[in-house]
Amino acid sequence: MKIYTQGYTHAGKFHADDVFSTALLKLLNPDFKVRRVNKLPENPDGIVYDIGGGKFDHHQTDSPVRDNGIPYAAFGLLWKEYGAYIMESEESALQFDQKFVSAIDYADNTGEYDSLSAAVSSFVPPWNSSESIDSAFEKAVDFAFNILDRLIQKSKAARLADELVMNAYKDSVNNIVILNQYMPWEKVLTDTDAVFVIYPSLRGGYNIQGVPVEHGSNIVKKPFPPEWCGREDSEIVLASGIDGLRFCHKNGFLASAETLDSAIKAAEFAINL
């Protein structure tokens, strides 16, 4: 797989497609430079996209279409080429395409409104501006680069969290999963027999959170006892008989404790009711 140091795309007014394509190529190689041209040189030295009718152009009548019917634009064609390399997973690359890339492709091919595409287009200078179109393009690329980079890092972090949560679940005892730090866990644990998950709180101590009956639900498999709900400090200790328990949410899905031991005791008490 070739990583390019330079490339060519069309000059003039820009859109989210060519802007995000350029951001993607800069993500692959921070030294990547693009030339925006109205006509390609005879033998272009570099990658060509969104112009010229080649592999990464989509303006031909026979340009590729996804299985779900969404046509590829240059951004999607580049992601198809490099996405698995960036995400280190074919599956993750496909998911990222479905959640993010394809929306930009769809808007570019159909003219349908897309808020992110509109935000990129806002960088195009108005007719009476003295700003050069190429300077504005670079600002738009910087904007797109930050979004793309952050979304990719979040996607990678989510995949890592899935692995770590599953490992913690495999080591769990009494349907209580203990994490050594907070990470997204609901997607993994909802369809298991896990009832509570415990993790360090940013406020100190530990949170004890009920696992929902299904993904996205606000109903948990086992709520904390009603007499705990809405109480804190000495009141929750008195109601529960557990030293170190310091708070229970009024809806009974979340509690907090000073120590891991007291957090486990609270979860076990609720499970054994």
- Per-position pLDDT tens, the chain of length 273: 899 999 999 999 999 999 999 999 999 999 999 999 999 999 999 999 999 999 999 999 889 999 999 999 999 999 999 999 999 999 999 999 999 999 999 999 999 999 999 999 999 999 999 999 999 999 999 999 999 999 999 999 999 999 999 999 999 999 999 999 999 999 999 999 999 999 999 999 999 999 999 988 999 999 999 999 999 999 999 999 999 999 999 999 999 999 999 999 999 999 998
Q: Where are the alpha helices (DSSP H) in 222-259?
A: 234-240
| The 206-210 sheet, strands edge to edge | 176-178, 196-200, 206-210, 254-257, 245-248
Mark residue 129 as left, alpha or beta (left: phi above 0; alpha: psi -120 to 50; beta: remaining).
beta
Strand 206-210 versus strand 254-257 pairing type? antiparallel
Do 221 and 269 contact (CB within 8 A), yes or no?
Answer: no
Instruction: Evaluate whether 85 touches 95 at the Cβ level (below 8 Å).
Output: no
For the record, the structure tokens of 14 come out as: 């820009």
Q: What is the value of pTM for the model shown?
A: 0.85
Q: Are 245 and 262 in contact (CB under 8 A)?
A: yes
As a whole number of angstroms, the distance between CA 241 and CA 103 comes to: 53
